[in-house]
Amino acid sequence: MITEGAARRVHIIQGEYKVLSDPDAVLSTILGSCVAACLRDPVAGVGGMNHFLLPGTGNTPMTGGDATRYGVHLMELLINGLLKKGARRDRLEAKIFGGAKTISTFSNVGEQNAAFAMQFLRDEGIPVVSSSTGGEHGRKIEYWPVSGRARQYPLTGAETQRTVALEQRPAAPQKPAETSIEFF
């Protein structure tokens, strides 16, 4: 039995993914044109969510924080994270959310994001058991990774605009790996 008040909330922002096996945990995110893929292995009792800004891999080499903006990178990280926690690829199931066209004058990157996620999962042989993509407004997503339960809340026009502003911010630069060597 899932009790709303007892749930441990874990929020995911653009460029992140999380994998959990806690039955009392709920993953949440807010999406505009971004897409969140929610995957789980119902037998292993493990699931996770990602949140990506752009479809595919882009046309330039990915480094550091840039890679986390792209769907292919975050989809691979999510699947590998699930496998490390005991999931089996042949038991994975997915739910896809997001991909709204939040700014009418821009290209429909949201539609491209949703199409990418669906094609990626089809190519990987992972069934999509449900999805809610497209539209003109953002959405807040809650996903219980162990049970697979998902809930979405549509955002109002003002909430969607705040989400769009967050999505248009450049990704935070990641601290470069330490390359110096100290000899003693």
34 is catalytic: yes
Highest averaged pLDDT of the listed ranges 1-10, 101-110, 136-145, 157-166: 136-145
Write the pLDDT tens digit of every residue in 40-82. Answer: 999 999 999 999 988 866 554 444 556 667 889 999 999 999 9
Residues 100, 146: Cα–Cα separation, whole Å = 27
Among candidate residues 44, 23, 144, 148, the one with its CA nearest the CA of residue 90:
44
Residues 92, 94: Cα–Cα separation, whole Å = 7
State whether CATH 3.30.1330.200 applies to domain 9-168.
yes
Q: Is 129 helix (H, G, I), strand (E, B) or coil?
A: strand
20: burial class by Cβ within 10 Å (0-12, 13-18, 19+)? buried
Tell me which of 34, 39, 54, 79 is the catalytic residue.
Answer: 34
Q: Is 37 helix (H, G, I), strand (E, B) or coil?
A: strand
29: burial class by Cβ within 10 Å (0-12, 13-18, 19+)? buried
Name the CA radius of gyration of the chain, rounded.
17
Note the pLDDT of residue 174. 45
Contact (CB, 8 A) for 81 and 48: yes
Note the pLDDT of residue 55. 83
Domain ranges of the chain: 9-168
b/e burial code for range 133-149 (CB count within 10 A of at least 16 → b):
beeebbbbbbbbbbebe
